[in-house]
Every structure is written in structure tokens, then in C-alpha cells.
Amino acid sequence: MFFIFTAMQLNKNIKNFINYFLGPLLFIWLSYSIFRQIQKQPQLEESWSHIRQSFQSYNIIYLLGALILIFANWGIEAWKWLISVRTFYPIKFIQAFKAVLSGVSFSVTMPNRVGEYLGRIVYLPEGNRLKTISITLVGSFAQLLVTIITGTIGLIILKSKLVDSFPQFRIWYQFALYSLILLALIMLLMYFNVAGLVTVFNRWIKNKKYNYLVEAVKNFHSKLLLQLLLLSLLRYVVFVVQYIFVFYLFQVNIDAAQIAITMSVVFLAMAVVPSIALVEVWLRGELSIKLIGLFSSNSLGIGFTSVTVWFINLILPAIIGSLLLLNLRIFKKNEKH
């Protein structure tokens, strides 16, 4: 919690540096790196031919399935936010769904999806907006926890394959694995004792007028926390299924279980690497080519999959969220706090 509040107070110059210099620089470097790896792919022309054929065959159903799952993905996130907000303010699902999509539109160009908080709070009446920051953090923490646990399991399952393929990381592998197991245990303890963390936070903050920002989290009982964790797991499964569908669309024909296990490691890496959404797609593509590439030589299809899933899960919802914001009256009366 301390980390998030600190991140929100980043110096404006640092944010500008990340968004307008470091982001584009990483974008160019990663794009070039992926391009070079695709160029080296054996039977590149054959891969192109298979991809073109996919859009003219029954394989197109995989794309339709991935598109339909957009609503499941963000609908689950909306439900998580809904049951969290209802601890202090009544809200309808459609309102929560609009808020989540608007948050996506804000987050596209901001580091580590910080913009999601801005997009969501405008859908609540003034006086309740800032309270949603802390409860949104809990939902995000639950999603991160699922990503770390599943990614750690993926690392364990893929141990021999990863160590054999990347022997230079053999020692670091053991260190990373035990560190992640310890981190997951600590995060679980923190997550199910979030009310206690609020008490500590209130003692740490000298200016008591800001205490209301985290008071709503005190209503997060064990049952609600478990619900959020299970919904986060369900959303994670939906995301993995989308990847499986799009991999098959682009003729990356490896076992679905293998895709799920390998992508869990990719998601884990993405969770610990700070980035902005416009760079994230290429970073995820780079990691996917490295890891999924251990089981398939179709690097062209792997690269296309990363771009496609990024587009349908982030850009399309961001466009919808932006349109929703056009008709929204943000300021209606003075903030109470």
C-alpha cells in the first residue's frame, strides 16, 4: 500500500521521462529485437502462408472466442470492483463495468496502469471517489498474488527445460524461485490481514485527515478477500484461454497445458518489470518468443499472438472507455474531503 501511494506521487519530470523518452526508446529496441528473431525463423514464408490460411478457415472461430472473452475478462474485473465498492457505496454492475473500461483508457499511456484508478473514481459521486483508491489497490493486489503464485508454479514445472536452455541463469534460477515462494507467502499473510495494515498505515500517517482514504478497507472481511482472490484466479484463467485461442489461430500448435504453464512465467516476468502499456506488448512478445519458442519454432505466430491479445484486451476496451467518458459529467459538486 505504501508503494502505491509513493508511486502516485512521482515527480512529474520522472513521469514525462518514462512516457516520452524511455517508453519510445524501449518500444524501438524491443520491436527491432522481435523483428530480428522473426527474420531468423526457419520456413518463414511457410508460416506466413499458414497464418493467411487461418483467416480463411474454421480457425477464425478461435479469434471470435478470444473476442467474446474480452467481456468475461473485464466483466470479472468489474465484478471485483463492484463487490469492493459496495462495502461503502451502492453501485450497479453496469456502472462498475463502465468505470473499469474508462480506467483502461486512462492506463494505456501511464506507467504500471496507474491510470486505472483515475478512470474508475470519476464514476462515483464526489465525497466517495478518493476512497476507491485503497479498495482498488486490494483488488489489484489479489490479481498480482495470483500471477506470482501461478508463475512460481510454472517456474517449478519448467525447471529442467529452462535450466537446460538458459544455463547461464542456473544459479539465479534457484535464488529467484525461493525468493518468489517467500514473497508469495508474505503477500498471502499481508492480503488476509489487510485490516491490520490499515491500522499500521493510520499510525504512520501524521496528518489524520487522510485516514478516510483507507478506512473503507477495514470492511474487507476474510470472505470478501477470498471472493476477490477466486475472481482474480478466474480472470487469470480467462486470460490464459484467450492466449491459447490466439496461439491456435496463428498456427502455434503446442499443447494447451504447455501454453498455460509457459505463459504463467511470462505473466510473472511482466508483473515484476515496470512498464507502460504501449511498451508492454513488445516486452511480452519478446518474452513469449523466448519461452514459447522453446516448444515451437513459429516465432512469427508467437509475435502476432502477443500483439493480437494486447489489442483486443487493452486497445479495444480503451477505445470503448474513451467513448463512455465523453458523456460523463465529472464535476458535480465540491469534494467533501
Task: Identify residue 112 by its one-letter amino acid code.
Answer: N
Instruction: Taking each helix axis as running N to C, give the angle between helix 256-272 and helix 277-291, from 0 to 180 degrees, rounded to the nearest 10.
Output: 140
Q: What is the pLDDT of residue 294?
A: 87
Q: What is the pLDDT of residue 235?
A: 96
Q: What is the pLDDT of residue 337?
A: 43
For 189-220, how does the pLDDT look when each residue is reduced to its tens digit (9 = 90+)? Answer: 999 988 777 777 666 766 566 666 677 777 78
Q: Show the cell assigned to 84.
A: 469492493
Q: What is the pLDDT of residue 6?
A: 43
CA distances from 170 to 17, 163, 175, 335, 336 (A): 35, 6, 9, 54, 55
Note whether residue 132 is domain-resident: yes
Residue 173 · residue 163 · CB < 8 Å? yes
Q: What is the pLDDT of residue 55?
A: 61
Note whether residue 275 is domain-resident: yes
Note whether residue 78 is domain-resident: yes
Note whether residue 38 is domain-resident: no
Q: Show the cell assigned to 310.
A: 494486447
Q: What is the pLDDT of residue 250?
A: 87
What is the number of structural domains in the chain? 1
User: Dihedral sign, CA of 254, 281, 168, 297?
Assistant: positive
User: Dihedral sign, CA of 101, 103, 105, 107?
Assistant: negative
Q: What is the pLDDT of residue 289?
A: 83
Note whether residue 335 is domain-resident: no
Helix (H, G, I), strand (E, B) or coil at 111: strand
Averaged pLDDT in 10-residue chunks for the chain of 337 residues = 42 49 50 49 50 66 91 94 88 90 74 67 74 84 95 92 82 88 93 79 64 72 93 96 92 90 91 62 76 85 83 81 66 43
Q: What is the pLDDT of residue 172?
A: 84
How many angstroms separate the CA atoms of 77 and 96, rounded? 9
Note whether residue 21 is domain-resident: no
CA distances from 25 to 14, 28, 127, 261, 321 (A): 15, 5, 40, 31, 27
Note whether residue 332 is domain-resident: no
Q: What is the pLDDT of residue 2?
A: 40
Q: Which residue has the cell 463492484?
A: 82
127: left (phi over 0), alpha (psi -120 to 50) or beta: left
Q: What is the pLDDT of residue 11?
A: 45
Helix (H, G, I), strand (E, B) or coil at 80: helix
Note whether residue 238 is domain-resident: yes
pTM of the model: 0.78
For 226-253, how does the pLDDT look when each residue is reduced to its tens digit (9 = 90+)? Answer: 999 999 999 999 999 999 999 998 888 8
Domain range spanning residue 119?
A: 46-324
